[in-house]
């Protein structure tokens, strides 16, 4: 039989599920190397073990286990796991599953482990250089589309072009999703706007690079202008002329600095074996620059509010703030 280093996540074949515990009731080695049977574990068996081991580290351990195994198998549909429940994974695949599960046990968000996240029915690249989109951000998309249709689509001819700016774009999921969804609406003639212009800014060059890659992957790289810069600053200089912005959409940093300081504090009981559900440890892996909203959490939200531009913003607790008015005539 082959020996596979699983990081002590799964038991030896034929033994109990207590990690590294011998028949005499003690660990023979501080870092035992499990030995796998011929052909490794079956999908169903592996999912059961993974779910058990992730229970203390995830609010959705079975879902995490499914997504990890699907990722390693290069499949997307959960139905595949049921249809192939007895299929055996190779030793190499088990190594990959175990490495990813062990990273999940540290509290690392699954999206960073997989390198991708699903949002609004599409898959986007994410890395620790960008914030992981929250479910509430989909509501922001819906409200933005509703606003545009209500204030432009129902008044044909009001605009030759509507300019939408995504401030603090991060991975680009907001502006890319809007570009794709509004294109679908235009094809259905649900919106009478002549055209849309999309602009996205972020102070992080790494975030801009990821956003551009996501735009490329979804076929809208030529539709969106990505600009590296802080908040609204770039708009006075981009392409040598000011931009006319009709609507701002944004998920800016909105956590209070003191709250982040407490999470990042050396006194926090952040250890590999702690119960991750007791702490918002996922924030430890996300870029602080995308989280820190200043002393009251409203530093960047207020910058958008005082711009005088209609805006739809995601803020504290996932709340969506709408600062909108009818789009002005041009």
For 292-329, letters b (16+ CB in 10 Å) and e give: bbeeebbbbbebbeebebbbbbbbeeeebbebbeebee
For the chain, first and last CA: distance in Å? Answer: 74
Percentage of the chain modeled with pLDDT above 70 = 73
105, 126, 150 — which closes off a domain? 105
Amino acid 121: pLDDT: 93
202 with 282, same domain: the answer is: yes
Say if residues 174 and 198 touch (Cβ distance below 8 Å): no
- Say yes or no: 82 and 141 in one domain: no
Residue 5 has pLDDT above 50, yes or no: no
The tokens describing 267, both together, are 């006194």
Residue 328 falls within a domain, yes or no? Answer: no
Identify whether 100 is part of a domain. Answer: yes
Query: Is 76 a domain residue?
Result: yes
Which CATH number does the domain housing residue 171 bear? 3.40.50.150
Cβ burial, residue 135 (10 Å; 0-12/13-18/19+):
exposed
User: Is 175 among the domain residues?
Assistant: yes
Q: Which residues contact 137 (CB under 8 A, 6 or more apart)?
A: 119, 173, 174, 251, 314
* β-bridge pairing 311-314 and 320-323: antiparallel
Nearest to 219 by CA among 164, 177, 279: 177
Do 276 and 184 share a structural domain?
yes
Helices (H), 120-161: 136-148
Q: What is the DSSP letter of 162?
A: E
Q: For 257-283, how does the pLDDT look when each residue is reduced to its tens digit (9 = 90+)?
A: 988 888 776 655 544 444 444 446 778
Tell me, yes or no, whether 206 and 136 share the same domain. yes
Q: Is residue 330 part of a domain?
A: no
CATH number of the domain that 39 lies in?
1.10.8
The neighbouring-strand residues paired with 216 are none
Least confident range of 48-57, 121-130, 158-167, 174-183: 158-167
Q: How many domains does the chain have?
A: 2
Q: The tokens 């079956």 sit on which residue?
A: 42
Enter the pTM of the model: 0.80
Mean pLDDT of the chain: 80
Give the model's pLDDT for residue 243. 60
User: Which pLDDT tens digit goes with each residue over 81-128?
Assistant: 999 999 999 999 999 999 999 999 888 999 999 999 999 999 999 999
User: Are both 90 and 158 inside the same structural domain?
Assistant: no
Does residue 82 fall inside a structural domain? Answer: yes
Digit-coded pLDDT (tens) for 137-153: 999 999 999 888 877 55
Count of beta carbons in the 10 Å neighbourhood of residue 270: 16
Same domain, 170 and 195: yes
What's the average model confidence in pLDDT over 206-225?
97
3-class SS of residue 118: strand
| CA neighbor of 107 nearest in space, from 283, 258, 287 | 283
Residue 183 inside a domain? The answer is yes
User: Looking at the structure, do residues 289 and 164 belong to the same domain, yes or no?
Assistant: yes
Q: Which helix (H) or strand (E) holds 54?
A: helix 43-54
User: Pick from 70, 105, 140: which residue ends a domain?
Assistant: 105
Say if residue 2 is in the same domain as residue 40.
yes
- DSSP-derived letter for residue 151 is I
Print the domain residue range for 143.
118-323
- Sign of the CA dihedral running 38, 43, 48, 49: positive
User: Pairing relation of β-strands 122-125 and 116-119?
Assistant: antiparallel
pLDDT at 21 over 80: no
Instruction: Answer with the one of 59, 76, 105 that is the final residue of a domain.
Output: 105
Whether residue 136 is found in the same domain as residue 68? no
Max avg pLDDT among 26-40, 142-156, 231-245, 295-309: 295-309
- 192 and 292 part of one domain: yes
Is residue 34 domain-shared with residue 94, that is, in the same domain?
A: yes
């Amino acid at each position: 039989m082959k020996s596979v280093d699983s990081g002590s996540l799964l038991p030896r074949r034929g033994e109990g599920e207590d990690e590294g515990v011998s028949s005499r009731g003690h660990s023979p080695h501080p870092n035992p190397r499990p030995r796998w049977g011929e052909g490794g574990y079956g999908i169903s068996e592996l999912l059961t073990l993974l779910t058990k081991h992730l229970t203390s580290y995830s609010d959705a351990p079975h879902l995490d286990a499914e997504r990890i195994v699907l990722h390693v198998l290069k499949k997307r549909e959960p139905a595949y796991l049921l249809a192939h429940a007895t299929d055996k994974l190779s030793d190499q695949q088990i190594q990959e599953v175990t490495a990813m599960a062990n990273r999940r046990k540290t509290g690392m968000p699954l999206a960073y482990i997989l390198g991708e996240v699903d949002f609004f029915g599409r898959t986007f690249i994410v890395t620790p250089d960008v914030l992981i989109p929250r479910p509430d951000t989909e509501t922001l998309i819906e409200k933005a589309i509703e606003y545009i249709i209500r204030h432009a689509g129902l008044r044909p001819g009001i605009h030759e072009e509507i300019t939408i700016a995504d401030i603090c774009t991060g991975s680009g999921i907001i502006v890319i999703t809007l570009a794709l969804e509004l294109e679908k609406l235009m094809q259905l003639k649900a919106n009478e706007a002549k055209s849309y212009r999309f602009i996205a800014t972020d102070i992080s060059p790494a975030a801009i690079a990821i956003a551009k890659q996501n735009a490329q992957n979804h076929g809208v790289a030529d539709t969106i202008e990505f600009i590296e810069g802080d908040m609204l600053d770039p708009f006075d200089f981009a392409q040598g002329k000011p931009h006319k912005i009709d609507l701002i959409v944004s998920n800016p940093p909105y956590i209070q600095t003191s709250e982040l300081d407490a999470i990042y504090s050396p006194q926090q009981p952040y250890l590999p074996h702690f119960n991750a559900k007791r702490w918002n440890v996922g924030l430890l892996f996300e870029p602080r620059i995308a989280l820190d909203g200043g002393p009251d959490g409203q530093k960047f939200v207020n910058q958008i509010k005082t711009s005088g531009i209609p805006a739809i913003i995601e803020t504290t607790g996932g709340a969506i703030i709408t600062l909108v008015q009818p789009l002005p005539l041009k």
